[in-house]
Amino acid sequence: MNESDTTAAAPQVPRGVNHLVVNVRDIDESHRFWTELLGFRHVGTARRARDDGGPPTRFYSGLKDGKLHHHDIALHQQPGDAARPQSLDHIAIEYASEEAWRAQIRFLADRGVALHRLIERGATHSIHLTDPNGIAVELVFELPRAQWEDDIDGALNRAVLKPLPA
């Protein structure tokens, strides 16, 4: 990541929420709920093997202006007791431009916020942090639609870890 020597004076205003990842008890039951009852479209399934042996994460999209998003919601089945209530895995906040995203990263780094996992994905570039309550937050810059819309599943399965900014 090429950082300039300038210090960001203020936080960047995000575009809004980019996507939510929800931890679920039963991925198949949740799949049916989100597709058959709420109408979301299943647009991809993670192909990377999970360390815990659980089923792959699934990605879903609604339509906006007649087009699918890379994902609005992802369902991730947690291992362990099926009685465990579902919970929010993370929230992704989208910035309007790569410049605004990079400025926000500088702003947070300048204030000592711990950043981790800088990742270039097929549809987004992102960096991760944790809010004071322990909620995982992902800051994203979405790549131009033309780079991912013809292979949403492929874009969802691309992830290249990059060094954190200094």
For residue 138, the domain's CATH number is 3.10.180.10
In a domain, 46, yes or no: yes
Number of domains in the chain: 1
Give, in degrees to the nearest 5, the angle at Cα 115 between 109 and 117.
140
In a domain, 35, yes or no: yes
pLDDT at 133 over 70: no
In a domain, 1, yes or no: no
pLDDT (tens digit, 9 = 90+) per residue, 102-127? 998 998 888 888 999 999 999 999 99
In a domain, 80, yes or no: yes
Burial (CB count within 10 angstroms: exposed 0-12, middle 13-18, buried 19+), residue 103? buried
Domain that holds residue 94: 16-162
Positions of E strands within the chain: 16-24, 41-45, 58-61, 63-64, 67-68, 73-77, 87-95, 116-121, 124-130, 136-142, 159-162
Distance CA 152, CA 70 (A): 6
The mean predicted confidence, pLDDT, of the chain is 86
- Picking from 158, 84, 152, the residue whose alpha carbon sits closest to that of residue 121 is 158
In a domain, 119, yes or no: yes
Distance CA 166, CA 163 (A): 9
In a domain, 27, yes or no: yes
In a domain, 9, yes or no: no
Amino acid, single-letter form, for residue 116:
H
Which structure tokens are listed for 49?
């093997």
User: Is the Cβ–Cβ distance between 94 and 18 less than 8 Å?
Assistant: yes
Distance CA 123, CA 133 (A): 28
- Whose tokens are 């910035």? That residue is 95
What local confidence, expressed as pLDDT, does residue 5 receive? 53
What local confidence, expressed as pLDDT, does residue 91 receive? 85
22 torsion bin: left (phi>0), alpha (psi -120 to 50), beta (else): beta
In a domain, 8, yes or no: no
What local confidence, expressed as pLDDT, does residue 58 receive? 95
